[in-house]
C-alpha cells in the first residue's frame, strides 16, 4: 500500500500541482489509515463502508475533531478514486460514504479601525522593520492574501505602475489582485529603507525578509500580526493573519461586491467556500439591528 500511496502523491504533485504542505497532509492522513489497516490485519482490497466506518470511529475515540476526520476522509476518498481510475481496483468501494456534518464556523474578523491601529502601532515604534510589519498587515487587509502567499511574494510579482500583485495560490493557480495607495506607500518605504539593510549585500527575489535576510516564514508573520494586535490593545484570541483575509472579504461584501468577484480575489476554487462570508454578513445585520433599533 505504501507504493500506491507514493504513486498517488506523485499524481497530486505533478498533475494536480498541490503544494508541499498539502502533500504532507495527504501523506500523513493516508499513512494513518494504512497503519490502521495493518493493525486490524487488513489491506486496501478489504476496504468497504464498514471498514471505513470503523476507522472513523477510531479517529473519534482518539479525539480527532470532526474537521480533522473529514479531512482524513477526503484524502482516503481521493486515494480510492485514484486506484479505481488507474485500474488497480475494479470498483470504488467507498464512493458513496458520507462525511460528518460540520457546524458553520464563522471566521474571526477585525474592523478597518482595528487595522489602522495595528499599522499605527507598527509605524510608531522603533523597530528596524516597522515598515515591513506595517506593509505586511496592510497588504493582508487590502488584498486578502493567504499568509503563505504573502511570504512567497517576489519582486517581479509586484506591479507598482498598475498597483496589482500576481499571486500564485493553492494548486499553483495564478490570480491578479489589486492593492491601494496606502499599501503602495508602506511597501515602498519598506523596500527603500529597510530591505537593503536586511539583505546585507546579498541578493534575493523575495519581497518580505526576516531579520536574518531570509524569506519571512508564516510563523514569523503570525508573530508580527499578534504583536501589532497587542500593541494596539486588540484581543487576539483566535485571530492571526487569516483574520485580515476574512476582514478583506467581509468589507468587500459590506460594500456591495459581487460574491463571484470576491471568490476570484480570494483564490477560492469553489463558490461554496466564499459563501461563508454571507453568513457573517447576516450576523452583522442582526447585531446592528439589535444595537440600534428601538424595538429590538
Residues with a catalytic annotation lie at 146, 170, 242, 245, 268, 277
**Domain 113-241 class?**
mainly alpha
Q: Where are the domains of the chain?
A: 2-85, 113-241
Answer whether residue 253 shows pLDDT above 60.
Answer: yes
For the ranges 16-20, 225-229, 266-270, the maximum mean pLDDT occurs at 225-229
Alpha helices in the chain (DSSP H): 2-14, 20-39, 49-61, 66-85, 112-123, 130-143, 147-152, 181-193, 195-199, 218-231, 241-254, 259-266, 271-274, 276-292
| 3-class state of residue 158 by DSSP | strand
Cell 498587515 sits on residue: 137
Whether the predicted model's global pTM rises above the 0.85 cut: no
105-148: per-residue pLDDT in tens?
Answer: 556 788 889 999 999 999 887 889 999 999 999 999 999 999 99
CATH topology for 2-85?
A: DNA polymerase; domain 1 (1.10.150)
pLDDT score recorded for residue 82: 92
> Residue range 209-214: average pLDDT?
92
Per-residue cell: 191: 523596500
Amino acid at each position: 500500500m505504501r507504493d500506491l500511496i507514493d504513486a498517488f502523491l506523485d499524481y497530486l504533485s505533478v498533475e494536480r500541482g498541490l503544494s508541499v504542505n498539502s502533500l504532507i497532509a495527504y501523506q500523513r492522513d493516508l499513512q494513518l489509515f494504512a497503519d490502521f489497516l495493518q493493525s486490524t490485519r487488513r489491506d486496501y482490497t478489504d476496504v468497504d463502508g464498514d471498514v471505513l466506518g470503523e476507522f472513523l470511529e477510531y479517529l473519534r475515540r482518539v479525539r480527532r475533531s470532526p474537521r480533522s476526520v473529514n479531512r482524513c476522509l477526503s484524502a482516503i476518498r481521493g486515494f480510492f478514486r485514484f486506484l479505481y481510475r488507474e485500474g488497480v481496483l475494479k470498483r470504488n468501494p467507498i464512493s458513496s460514504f458520507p462525511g460528518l456534518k460540520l457546524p458553520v464556523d464563522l471566521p474571526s474578523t477585525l474592523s478597518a479601525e482595528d487595522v489602522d491601529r495595528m499599522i499605527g502601532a507598527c509605524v510608531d515604534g522603533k523597530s528596524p522593520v516597522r515598515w515591513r510589519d506595517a506593509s505586511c498587515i496592510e497588504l493582508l487587509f487590502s488584498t486578502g492574501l493567504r499568509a503563505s502567499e504573502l511570504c512567497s511574494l517576489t519582486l517581479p510579482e509586484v506591479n507598482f505602475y498598475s498597483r496589482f500583485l500576481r499571486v500564485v495560490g493553492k494548486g499553483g493557480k495564478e490570480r491578479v489582485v489589486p492593492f491601494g495607495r496606502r499599501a503602495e506607500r508602506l511597501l515602498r518605504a519598506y523596500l527603500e529603507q529597510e530591505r537593503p539593510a536586511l539583505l546585507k549585500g546579498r541578493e534575493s527575489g523575495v519581497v518580505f525578509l526576516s531579520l536574518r535576510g531570509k524569506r519571512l516564514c508564516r510563523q514569523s508573520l503570525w508573530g508580527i500580526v499578534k504583536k501589532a494586535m497587542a500593541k494596539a490593545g486588540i484581543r487576539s484570541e483566535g485571530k492571526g493573519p487569516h483574520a485580515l483575509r476574512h476582514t478583506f472579504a467581509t468589507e468587500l461584501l459590506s460594500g456591495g461586491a459581487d460574491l463571484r468577484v470576491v471568490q476570484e480575489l480570494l483564490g477560492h476554487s469553489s463558490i461554496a467556500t466564499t459563501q461563508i462570508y454571507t453568513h457573517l454578513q447576516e450576523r452583522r445585520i442582526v447585531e446592528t439591528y439589535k444595537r440600534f433599533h428601538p424595538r429590538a
